């Protein structure tokens, strides 16, 4: 399901008209949201749905769960309830087997061998690239650069494109919802080039302030760094509309898809994104492998950012020439087993009914949101319409780390801390929070386990 905004999500919830008109706390043209109530909500909570909203529509979550071995282990004497998908996703059997097979029987380097196993490894490697291109909706696999993950993808663009294209007084607009990996690389290159990083503020519900964004865009804007789904608020900004606006000023747009690709179909061409990044490990693939998509003309104009093997055409002390993209941007031996695992993960994902999987997650998110509201003293952070299943919250009187530790005793894995998005939490006056994050293999029972355990969490540490 691909929608005009390229998000693959059906509702118009991310459109500009949906934003609350006056909740932003304007100060001049720069808007910074000041939290209205710092204390956890004790308002009457909506009742938990009486009948579980059991996901329907052809998505067989139990069949999916059977493919993920880790879902069938125990932790601290309890069946594992994995609600830390924002940090990393579990791996299906197919991925484990693909990585194991590479190391057990099929180890070889790629691209430069004349023997059978080198050809086989190269075929798998390039099929992995083609799978990633298909996942992102580009017909051109050469627009896919293999990197370690989202962090390295952003650093690549900052160090290569940024160094070549940014100058004194230029502006890089970075949304306040960004993960540090889509902020700090811009701060580094901005300092070097004497450019400025300018935040695009949040509204109270976690949406990006579109009025502020329009005000901030100018001919000084050279790049907009934008999440496709926030890892702390769950917000899915209107990326296609924001990209179109940026392009009017000649700015480029880098979209961080780390939290998007596993949750809903993505189409970089419909988004018209200039760059799009994701990490394999957040989409059921191994750690250490990720993808940078870039429009071909942009990639071709970018200078190499690392030198070494694989990325050259010819080398001499007088002159070195470089290989065509994407290899020009892939110095050294890549993560070959990682690509084998990525290929398996993306094949696994494309074999599922993605529309049904997204609907399952949307229903589960709605269920979890209502269920969490029944926990006394629980305050949910971020309720933008159409958000993904990222449920960040505080529990009155209990330190977030203590909440996570008590849940862990019952086999429930959540994350606590700043979630590498300190500016986003700071917009709510917070430094730390608990996050439960859903994936397509989670169930109503997982949510019920979480809610049941939260009801019993003891106030051991002052929040």
Q: Which residues bind ligand PLP (CB under 6 A)?
A: 86, 149-151, 179, 181-182, 227, 231, 256, 258-259, 279, 420
Whichever of 136 and 451 has its CB closer to ligand PLP, that residue is: 136
H or E stretch covering 126: helix 116-136
State how far the Cα of 303 lies from the Cα of 325, in Å rounded to an integer. 11
Dist CA 192 CA 190 (whole Å): 5
The CA distance from 3 to 8, in Å, is 5
> 150 or 410: whose CB is closer to ligand PLP?
150
Q: Measured from the CB of residue 60, what is the shortest distance to ligand PLP in angstroms? A: 28
**Whether 68 contacts 95, CB under 8 Å:** no
Minimum gap (Å) between residue 151 Cβ and ligand PLP: 3
Q: Which is nearer to ligand PLP, 24 or 150 (CB)?
A: 150
Report, in Å, the least distance between residue 252 CB and ligand PLP: 18
Compute the least distance from the CB of residue 42 to ligand PLP, in Å.
31
- Nearest approach, Cβ of residue 254 and ligand PLP (Å): 11
Nearer to ligand PLP, 5 or 84 (CB): 84
The minimum distance between CB 301 and ligand PLP, in angstroms, equals: 25
Which tokens sit at 389?
């299943």
Q: Which is nearer to ligand PLP, 222 or 281 (CB)?
A: 281
Residue 420 is a catalytic residue: yes
26 phi and psi angles, rounded to 5 deg: -65, 140
CA distance 450 to 370: 13
Of 24 and 182, CB closest to ligand PLP: 182
Query: Treating both helix axes as pointing N-terminal to C-terminal, what angle do 116-136 and 336-350 enclose, rounded to 10 degrees?
Result: 50
Name the DSSP class of 161. Answer: I
326 preceded by a cis bond (ω within 30 of 0): yes
16: how many CB neighbours lie within 10 A of its CB? 15
Catalytic choice (87, 420, 426, 463): 420
How far apart, in Å, are the Cα atoms of 327 and each of 155, 307, 330, 394?
17, 11, 5, 46
Question: Can you tell me which residue has the tokens 């509309």?
Answer: 241
| Block residue for tokens 């998007």 | 260
- Contact of 43 with 373, CB cutoff 8 Å: no
Torsion of CA 132, 135, 140, 144, to 10 degrees: -40
- Catalytic residue list: 420
């Amino acid at each position: 399901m691909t929608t005009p905004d390229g998000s693959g999500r059906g509702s118009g919830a991310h459109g500009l008209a949906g934003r609350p008109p006056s909740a932003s706390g304007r100060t001049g043209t720069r808007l910074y949201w000041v939290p209205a109530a710092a204390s956890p909500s004790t308002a009457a909570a909506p009742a938990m749905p009486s009948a579980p909203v059991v996901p329907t529509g052809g998505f067989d979550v139990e069949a999916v769960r059977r493919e993920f071995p880790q879902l069938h282990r125990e932790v601290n004497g309890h069946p594992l309830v994995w609600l830390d998908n924002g940090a990393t996703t579990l791996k299906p059997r197919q991925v484990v087997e693909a990585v194991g097979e590479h190391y057990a029987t099929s180890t070889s380097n790629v691209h430069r061998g004349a023997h059978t196993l080198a050809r086989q490894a190269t075929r798998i490697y390039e099929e992995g690239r083609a799978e990633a291109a298909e996942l992102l909706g580009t017909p051109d696999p050469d627009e896919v650069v293999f990197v370690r993950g989202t962090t390295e993808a952003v650093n690549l663009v900052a160090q290569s494109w940024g160094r070549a294209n940014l100058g004194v007084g230029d502006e890089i607009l970075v949304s306040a919802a960004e993960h540090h990996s889509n902020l700090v690389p811009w701060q580094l290159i901005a300092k070097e080039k004497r450019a400025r990083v300018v935040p695009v503020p949040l509204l109270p519900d976690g949406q990006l302030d579109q009025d502020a964004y329009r005000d901030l865009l100018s001919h000084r804007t050279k790049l907009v760094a934008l999440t496709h789904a926030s890892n702390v608020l769950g917000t899915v900004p209107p990326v296609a509309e924001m990209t179109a606006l940026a392009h009017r000023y000649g700015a480029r747009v880098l979209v961080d898809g780390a939290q998007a690709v596993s949750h809903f179909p993505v189409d970089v061409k419909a988004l018209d994104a200039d760059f799009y990044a994701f990490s394999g490990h957040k989409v059921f693939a191994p750690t250490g492998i990720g993808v940078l998509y870039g429009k071909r003309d942009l990639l071709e104009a970018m200078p190499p950012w690392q030198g070494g093997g694989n990325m050259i055409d010819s080398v001499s002390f007088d002159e070195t020439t470089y290989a065509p993209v994407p290899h020009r941007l892939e110095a050294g031996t890549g993560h070959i087993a990682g690509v084998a695992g990525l290929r398996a993960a993306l094949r696994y994902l494309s074999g599922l009914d993605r529309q049904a999987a997204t609907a399952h997650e949307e229903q589960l998110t709605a269920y979890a949101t209502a269920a969490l509201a029944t926990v006394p003293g629980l305050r949910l952070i971020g309720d933008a319409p159409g958000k993904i299943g990222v449920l960040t919250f505080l529990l009155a009187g209990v330190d977030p780390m203590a909440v996570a530790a008590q849940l862990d005793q019952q086999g429930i894995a959540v994350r606590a801390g700043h979630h590498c998005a300190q500016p986003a939490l700071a917009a709510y006056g917070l430094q730390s929070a608990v996050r439960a994050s859903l994936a397509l293999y989670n169930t109503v029972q997982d949510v019920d386990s979480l809610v049941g355990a939260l009801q019993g969490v003891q106030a051991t540490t002052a929040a």
